[in-house]
Structure 1
């Protein structure tokens, strides 16, 4: 399996995008370390090009949902959490307990938080839309300033 990678500029700093032949496998602010020996720099990959285009539209306020193929690696539980994240609408937030209930495991709040933190596809799988039960911003692998920026970009009220 080969993985292609590209780095693009964004309003939030550089974003690393990786994709396989099946779909996008990583979008984040730091280099992914999963398959360094298999990463190719040739980006003749339809999924990379679609991801770049759709992220550009998102940052330019012309896209609210993403329609690219994803190729995520994780446990079944993690994948169920990431799938639930895709159902959190643009500009809205939910809590970790909301996601735990959505996947039919209301007592798995901490496990949902851990899976949320392992989300390999930032922005597109919107883990930034998950906040603490108190309404406060909680951890984000890209940093809380980026999380706050993304939520503000989507029209969610600023967190003071």
Structure 2
């Protein structure tokens, strides 16, 4: 078990909780989910303690601030992605979606050679613990509808508008 470090970032979409392990960024938690995150983390045994440490997350905060100011289009951050193999495949594919572009759940399923798994792609996105950096907001329905988003549809719309998609 290890101690995780955390910090907050005030952003145009509200307060974000950033959590990192020794391996890299592990979580970005939207404001509406922060209390639940702490409650769930305290009831699990995957880390000894959450320690507030602004310095450990400074580079991540800087890159997110640049993203929100439309000055950063790609992140250079080490990630700690701890998910099942199928989800990891989806996350790796979602990471290839360029800034200002979208792909459908079906396109992602096709690209990972599992064309019938578009619903499972949605489930993987719903379990993305590092939104924005792993840009699941860029994944939409085949019909063009926005679909769901862990931070809420209002935040998904904001992110896509900020990137010039809508």
| Equivalent residue number for residue 128 of structure 1 | 137
Greater strand fraction, Structure 1 or Structure 2: 2
The reply on whether 1:78 has 2:87 as its aligned counterpart is: yes
CA deviation profile, 1:103-142 (whole Å, cap 9, x unmatched) = 1111111111100110000111000001101001110000
Of 33-42 and 73-82, deviating more is: 33-42
Greater helix fraction, Structure 1 or Structure 2: 2
The reply on whether 1:2 has 2:13 as its aligned counterpart is: no
CA deviation profile, 1:46-103 (whole Å, cap 9, x unmatched) = xx22110100110111100101000011101111111111001101100001111111
| Equivalent residue number for residue 14 of structure 1 | 15
- Please list every run of at least 4 consecutive aligned residues from structure 1 whose deviation after the TM superposition is greater than 4 angstroms: none
Q: Distance in 2 between matches of 1:143 and 1:126?
A: 14
Q: Distance in 2 between matches of 1:56 and 1:117?
A: 24
Give the TM-score taking structure 1 as reference length. Answer: 0.92
How many residue pairs match? The answer is: 155
Q: Distance in 2 between matches of 1:20 and 1:40?
A: 11
Q: Distance in 2 between matches of 1:49 and 1:105?
A: 38
Q: Distance in 1 between matches of 2:3 and 2:88?
A: 22
| Equivalent residue number for residue 35 of structure 1 | 41
Q: Secondary structure at the match of 1:26?
A: strand
Q: Secondary structure at the match of 1:9?
A: strand
| Equivalent residue number for residue 23 of structure 1 | 24
RMSD over aligned CA atoms reads 1.2
Q: Secondary structure at the match of 1:15?
A: strand
Alpha-carbon offset, residue 28 of structure 1 = 2.3
